[in-house]
């Protein structure tokens, strides 16, 4: 057997870190459900032909899956399968497959692992967890869902110890209409170049635009648009002042203003209209979203999404949708060093053992605590009490229970419980004692 | 794009079914945590050389994973990876990899998908969810954990709508010692033959044993042992009456009696000592567990496990463990037809819209409900109220909220809420109204 070594790009958490991750996932789930999103899980694999060509240049990233026994077989009757690289493509397939049994508009959330074979780097993994919400409709999807989705995200982030954050919003119609109004032909090519603005700076982008056939003044206009940002709908006047007129541009400005107005009402200060946000994926057609942690801007977006119109279609019906995906692993990779769980185990109470023959009685004590919702376990052996307390201390278990017993003189000793952090030990009634609420389950806090 | 068709062996739940599954997973998680098990997740892939040869004849079942871009490349620098086929082998690897950062005995639970390339059939899938608990120690693992584990499982099952069930327990030392005491050489071969008892019946097993070299009286004795079962420790006398003497057999009988005595105290009536239970996997060395749903015996075990001594070793330290795995997908595949969720969405309240211009006010109502932990969503459009009520009804949303407004004569109309099941509609205070506890979140019940 080869030495056990970590596998690059496939991170794993230790138990205390997993408690932090569980806290994030619990908050995400609860917030999504409060907003009426129903959960689904899709299988990990899709036919590779369904994965290829969705989401642009992803074919190099897809992991193929083959039974070892079928490897090298010249012709296999089995489907050619790959691991999904996001949750949007599987959700589109799920919607088509089960459309007759779903009710539309369909609000769903999905929290699962996804896999990409790309080179691992800071915050980029080969296996990672995403938490997605999407609203998909049959035929037409009302615009107001594009307004609603970033507000759900703002609610999630407001409940998590992520520090200040910024949800950046744009509408694909704005650059598209603007570029068309400027007389540019290659809208997507221009988008892709302007998307590099944060990485290479305005001069390099201007140069690339001119190489691609823009005039100097067209390149200047593209850059001016990309540099517009605002925390309210004041961006509309600033764009109009650039003097480009186009009906698609107008529609985009109106829609983005509606998103910003709703944000001002329901999540003041959390959204920024940022007209350089483009999102790489070609399938977005309306509002697009990115999210930055303030102070970690160079880390890039930790949750992104947008409106898509043509991802799911069975030839008869099209199912347009809008979605946002939280990069849970990516977010935690950055935040974990600053967070800690109050302990590395769910156990709140360790029931001590005076003698190994007391195990049955100790198990009865633990069962009574659990029946009242208090996580408890029995000490592994009847070691000296000091050793049992150290056992609890190493795991962060806050309380040690000493079951009552009949003393050497026939006197009955009551149950006692010790808070090992303060050393305080008091008589306790097994049917009534509770730990403080903050100690019942592990909690997550910011590291000092 | 090919037609969307289900993939055999990769089942997916509809939203209402997923609510049932989530209920099962929530109960499992909470019970495991009440017993002090810490959660971890391991990556989906392991080096194939680690997967092969663990758990016996599984090589044909393993799914290999390769980047599509690396397919057909003559030499790849990348590790040869496969999807895990259980959670025990990855847990053993995790323990070795992170041993320096874990505290022992380590109690962990793990709820994840696993993959096996075997032929799909009733209750057997290619992708399925398992929920495992294991206790692993460094060097020595005390026997009492073998007593504790089935009690955790009994607690889980007692909280779930699974109907009557039976946890069958045996100890590998009993057949091993017994076969040795009988003078048989091939203990594992004999185990494998006797394991077929339920499938082929006693006459066929006797024939196979004799073909494998047993005398007729040895075969009779093996069958007599396999037919012993008891709900308490009375099995000891019945085995002793078979007249075979062996120290390993004695040890096994003592241990199994201890398991049954603890069960009598903590989970009366739920455990059965069943001496034919063998578990296929070669790595079990002590107590072994299987679980049957009463009335579904031919479906086989829905959760299984046992004691293993040599699964994790780094050459210096060995980490013996004991574990039980709940086959969540397998269990639900059988039970789902008899279960139903109270609704197909988390939403408890649909906020209706009198006019599309009321959306902002309606979003404010929904936000106020959510802030008090009540799942709410706003109607998709300002359709006639009858249509909005049908929208709620189709999803099982129990309440429709009518936001108050200023009437045509300047009179203020109060907020009202309608229980669409009874038709009752009452004035409601947005800051105080609550749905009955049973309606706040979806619930799961047995179908009538």
* Structural domain spans, chain A: 349-446
Q: How far is B182 from chain A (nearest CA, A)?
A: 35
Check whether B54 has a pLDDT greater than 70: no
Give the whole-angstrom CA distance, residue A180 versus residue A406. Answer: 89
Best CA proximity match to A311, nearest among A96, A157, A36, A65: A96
Q: How confident is the model at residue B299 (pLDDT cuts 50, 70, 90)?
A: very high
Give the whole-angstrom CA distance, residue A250 versus residue A239. Answer: 10
Number of separate helices (H) and strands (E) present in chain A:
15, 21
Q: What pLDDT shows up at residue A335?
A: 97
Tens place of pLDDT for every residue, chain A, 448 residues? 446 889 999 999 999 999 999 999 999 999 999 999 999 999 999 999 889 876 545 555 899 999 988 766 655 556 799 999 999 999 999 999 999 999 999 999 999 999 999 888 888 999 999 999 999 999 999 999 999 999 999 999 999 999 999 999 999 999 999 999 999 989 889 988 998 898 899 999 999 999 999 999 999 999 999 999 999 999 999 999 999 999 999 999 999 999 999 999 888 988 999 999 877 666 889 999 999 999 999 898 999 999 999 888 888 899 999 999 999 999 999 999 999 999 999 999 999 999 999 999 999 999 999 999 999 999 999 989 999 999 999 999 999 999 998 777 888 889 999 999 999 999 999 999 999 999 999 999 999 7
Asked if the Cβ–Cβ distance from A105 to B381 is below 8 Å, we say no
Using an 8 Å CB-CB cutoff, list chain A residues near B377. Answer: 35-36, 107
Q: Which of A367-381, B45-59, B130-144, B392-406 has the lowest mean pLDDT?
A: B45-59
Asked if the Cβ–Cβ distance from B377 to A13 is below 8 Å, we say no
Alpha helices (H) in A11-133, listed in sequence order? 15-34, 48-51, 88-98
Give the whole-angstrom CA distance, residue B188 versus residue A191. Answer: 67
**Residue matched to tokens 């099952």:** B157
Q: Produce one character per residue of A150-168: b if its CB has 16 or more CB atoms within 10 Å, e if not.
A: bbbbbbbbeebbbeebbbb
**Residue matched to tokens 């493509």:** A89
> Which CATH topology does B7-162+325-341 take?
BirA Bifunctional Protein; domain 2 (3.30.930)
Asked if the Cβ–Cβ distance from B266 to A364 is below 8 Å, we say yes
Torsion of CA A326, A329, A332, A333, to 10 degrees: -130
Q: What pLDDT shows up at residue A448?
A: 77
Check whether B59 has a pLDDT greater than 60: no
Q: What pLDDT shows up at residue B55?
A: 52
The three-class DSSP label of residue A425 is strand
Give the whole-angstrom CA distance, residue B366 versus residue B399. Answer: 12
Tokens of B388: 């909005």
Asked if the Cβ–Cβ distance from B346 to A93 is below 8 Å, we say no
DSSP state of A54: T
Q: Which residue has the higher pLDDT, B436 or B185?
A: B436
Q: What pLDDT shows up at residue A223?
A: 96
Best CA proximity match to B38, nearest among A347, A216, A422: A347
Give the whole-angstrom CA distance, residue B259 versus residue A299. Answer: 54
Q: Is A223 exposed, middle or buried (0-12, 13-18, 19+ CB in 10 A)?
A: middle
Asked if the Cβ–Cβ distance from B346 to A12 is below 8 Å, we say no
Interface ipTM: 0.95
Q: What pLDDT shows up at residue B97?
A: 96
The number of beta carbons lying within 10 Å of the beta carbon of residue A275 is 26
Give the whole-angstrom CA distance, residue B312 versus residue A446. Answer: 35
Asked if the Cβ–Cβ distance from B15 to A33 is below 8 Å, we say no
Q: What pLDDT shows up at residue B412?
A: 83
> Among residues of chain B, what percentage have pLDDT more than 90?
80
Asked if the Cβ–Cβ distance from B63 to A67 is below 8 Å, we say yes
Name which of A14, A50, A117 is nearest B1 (Cβ-Cβ). A50
Cis amide prior to A105 (ω within 30 degrees): yes
Could you tell me the CA-to-CA distances from A234 to A51, A166, A229, A391 in Å, in that order?
40, 18, 9, 60
Contact A118, A55 (CB under 8 A): no
When the candidates are 1.10.10.10, 3.40.50.300, 3.40.50.800, 3.40.30.10, the CATH number that belongs to B349-446 is 3.40.50.800
Tokens of A309: 């119109």
Question: Got the DSSP string for B30-44?
Answer: HHHHHTTPEE----S
Tokens of A175: 């650059």
Using an 8 Å CB-CB cutoff, list chain A residues near B15. Answer: 38-40, 102, 108
Cis amide prior to B105 (ω within 30 degrees): yes
The number of beta carbons lying within 10 Å of the beta carbon of residue B303 is 24
Give the whole-angstrom CA distance, residue A335 versus residue B69. Answer: 32
The per-residue pLDDT for range B212-260, each reduced to its tens digit, is 999 999 999 999 999 999 999 999 999 999 999 999 999 999 999 999 9
The per-residue pLDDT for range B63-103, each reduced to its tens digit, is 999 998 876 665 555 679 999 999 999 999 999 999 999 99
Phi, then psi, of A392 in degrees rounded to 5: -65, -45
Name which of A4, A70, A142 is nearest B97 (Cβ-Cβ). A4
Check whether B304 has a pLDDT greater than 90: yes
Using an 8 Å CB-CB cutoff, list chain A residues near B263. Answer: none
């Amino acid at each position: 057997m080869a030495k056990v070594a970590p596998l690059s790009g496939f991170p794993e958490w230790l138990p205390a870190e997993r408690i932090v991750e569980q806290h994030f996932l619990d908050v995400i789930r609860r917030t999504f459900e409060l907003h009426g999103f129903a959960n689904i899980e899709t299988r990990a694999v899709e036919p590779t032909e369904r994965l290829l060509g969705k989401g642009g240049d992803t074919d190099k990233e897809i992991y193929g899956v083959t039974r070892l026994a079928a490897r090298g077989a010249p012709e296999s009757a089995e489907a050619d399968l790959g691991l999904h690289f996001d949750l949007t493509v599987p959700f589109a397939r799920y919607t088509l497959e089960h459309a007759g049994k779903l009710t539309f508009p369909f609000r769903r959330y999905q929290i699962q692992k996804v896999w990409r074979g790309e080179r691992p780097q800071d915050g980029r993994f080969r296996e990672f967890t995403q938490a997605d919400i999407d609203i998909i409709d049959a035929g037409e999807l009302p615009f107001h869902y594009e307004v609603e989705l970033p507000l759900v995200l703002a609610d999630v982030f407001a409940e998590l110890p992520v520090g200040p954050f910024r949800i950046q919003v744009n509408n694909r119609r704005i650059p598209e209409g603007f570029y068309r109004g400027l007389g540019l032909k290659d809208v997507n090519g221009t988008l892709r170049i302007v998307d590099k603005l944060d990485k290479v700076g305005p001069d390099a982008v201007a140069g690339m635009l001119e190489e691609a056939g823009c005039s100097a003044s067209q390149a200047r206009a593209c850059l001016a648009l990309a540099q517009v940002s605002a925390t309210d709908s004041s961006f509309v006047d600033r764009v109009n002042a650039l003097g480009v007129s186009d009906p698609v541009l107008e529609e985009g400005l109106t829609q983005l203003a509606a998103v910003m107005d709703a944000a001002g009402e329901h999540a003041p200060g959390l959204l920024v209209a940022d007209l350089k946000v483009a999102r790489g994926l070609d399938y977005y057609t309306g509002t697009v979203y990115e999210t930055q942690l303030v102070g970690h801007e160079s880390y890039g977006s930790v949750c992104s999404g947008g409106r898509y119109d043509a991802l799911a279609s069975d030839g008869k019906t099209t199912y347009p949708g809008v979605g946002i995906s939280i990069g849970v692993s990516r977010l935690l990779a950055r935040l974990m060093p600053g967070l800690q769980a109050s302990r590395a185990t769910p156990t709140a109470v360790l029931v001590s053992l005076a003698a190994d023959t007391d195990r049955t009685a100790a198990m009865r004590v633990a069962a009574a605590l659990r029946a009242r919702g208090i996580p408890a376990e029995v000490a592994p052996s009847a070691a000296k009490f000091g050793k049992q307390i150290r056992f609890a201390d190493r795991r962060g278990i806050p309380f040690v229970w000493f079951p009552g017993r009949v003393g050497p003189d026939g006197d009955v000793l009551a149950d006692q419980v010790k808070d090992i952090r303060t050393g305080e030990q008091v008589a306790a009634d097994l049917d009534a004692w509770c730990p403080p609420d903050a100690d019942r389950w592990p909690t997550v806090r910011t590291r000092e």
